[in-house]
């Protein structure tokens, strides 16, 4: 069981390639009924902003950090990381940049309780190379932990409830077979009508900052209409008039707005969050 998280991390490189010319956006791969959507356009840049930050050396000099990195568990983690890097033939940051060079997106569709993760790598050849090496690594584990099937003559892989497929430079991961098939169809056929056709999503997308490190969308109207989290939309009484006034304003927004967005911008100089 302990090997499963590592297996899942590595099998994000597993799948098959195709030659279709069209390359839709991540939001187009998501079902139109997707209620919650998050995208990170440049994961490698985010990692760089964190690990190359000027404060890193100061943090690593602190006693709590030294204690945390001197444990047997941390040493075991580093050993495993070195082994994985040896299999992949590159450092982990280079592997992340190659596999996620064009972004990561996550969506949840309540229609069938489906999760879809779409990861776009730098190019198909690089993703295929990582696929081959990751598959090589997965074969070191139990023979039955990774099952192989096909869809439209393309290999798909399954580990537990998770299903994986690689189409060109896109890695698709989902818990629902129909959602995965629909995304593959869009990549192969060029019929890329999805979440981007949702009216509320279009309105929200128009407000997105171009330099956002991460951006999220929530279809609040769907949640209200479905009766989800009713306490979230109901104003609670308070003995503090000021707090009640502020809470009332927030509640008013939650009761009326059809959607919410949140974004974060991370850089070497600043951290900025908006909602």
Reported as a single tens digit per residue, the pLDDT across 35-59 is 999 999 988 888 888 888 777 888 8
Q: What is the pLDDT of residues 181-218, one digit of tens each?
A: 999 999 998 877 899 999 999 999 999 888 888 999 99
Last residue within a domain, chosen from 172, 190, 208: 190
d(CA 41, CA 61): 32
- Nearest 10 degrees: CA dihedral of 82, 86, 87, 88? 100
**How many CA atoms within 13 Å lie on the side-chain side of 200?**
18
Last residue within a domain, chosen from 190, 225, 246: 190
The whole model's pTM is what?
0.78
In a shared domain, residues 78 and 185? yes
- Look-up: residue for tokens 């997707």? 34
Helix 3-10 × helix 124-138 angle, to 10°: 160
In a shared domain, residues 167 and 273? no
In a shared domain, residues 184 and 202? no
- At residue 22, the pLDDT reads 55
Number of domains in the chain: 2
In a shared domain, residues 29 and 69? yes
In a shared domain, residues 185 and 222? no
Which residues constitute the domain of residue 245? 198-275
The backbone torsions φ and ψ at residue 98, rounded to the nearest 5 degrees and listed phi first, read -65, -45
Percent of all residues in the chain with a pLDDT value above 70, rounded to a whole number: 76
The angle formed by the CA atoms of residues 219, 178 and 223, to the nearest 5 degrees, is: 15
- At residue 245, the pLDDT reads 41
List the beta bridge partners of residue 148.
157
Average pLDDT score over residue span 85-90: 85
The b/e string for 98-131 (b: 16+ C-beta within 10 A; e otherwise) is bbbbbbbbbbbbbeeebbbbbbbbeebebbbbbb
In a shared domain, residues 122 and 227? no
252 Cβ neighbours under 8 A, 6+ residues apart? none
More confident residue, 63 or 55: 63
Residue 126 banded pLDDT, cuts 50, 70, 90:
confident
């Amino acid at each position: 069981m302990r090997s499963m998280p590592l297996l899942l991390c590595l099998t994000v490189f597993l799948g098959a390639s195709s030659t279709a010319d069209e390359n839709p956006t991540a939001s187009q791969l998501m079902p139109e009924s997707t209620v919650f959507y998050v995208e990170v356009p440049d994961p490698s840049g985010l990692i760089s902003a964190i690990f190359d930050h000027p404060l890193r050396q100061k943090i690593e000099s602190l006693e709590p950090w030294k204690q945390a990195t001197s444990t047997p568990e941390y040493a075991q983690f580093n050993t495993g990381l070195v082994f994985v890097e040896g299999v992949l033939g590159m450092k982990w940051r280079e592997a992340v940049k190659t596999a996620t060079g064009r972004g990561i997106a996550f969506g949840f569709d309540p229609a069938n309780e489906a999760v879809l993760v779409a990861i776009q790598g730098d190019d198909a050849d690089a993703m295929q190379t990582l696929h081959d090496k990751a598959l090589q690594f997965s074969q070191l584990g139990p023979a039955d932990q990774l099952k192989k099937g096909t869809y439209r003559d393309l290999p798909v892989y399954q580990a537990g409830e998770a299903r994986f497929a690689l189409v060109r430079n896109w890695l698709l991961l989902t818990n629902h077979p129909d959602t995965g098939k629909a995304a593959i169809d869009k990549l192969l056929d060029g019929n890329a009508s999805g979440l981007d056709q949702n009216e509320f999503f279009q309105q929200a997308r128009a407000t997105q900052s171009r330099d956002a490190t991460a951006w999220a969308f929530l279809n609040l109207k769907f949640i209200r209409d479905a009766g989800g989290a009713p306490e979230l939309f109901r104003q609670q009484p308070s003995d503090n008039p000021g707090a009640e006034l502020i809470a009332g304003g927030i509640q008013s927004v939650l009761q009326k707005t059809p959607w919410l967005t949140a974004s974060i911008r991370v850089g070497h100089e600043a951290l900025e969050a908006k909602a």
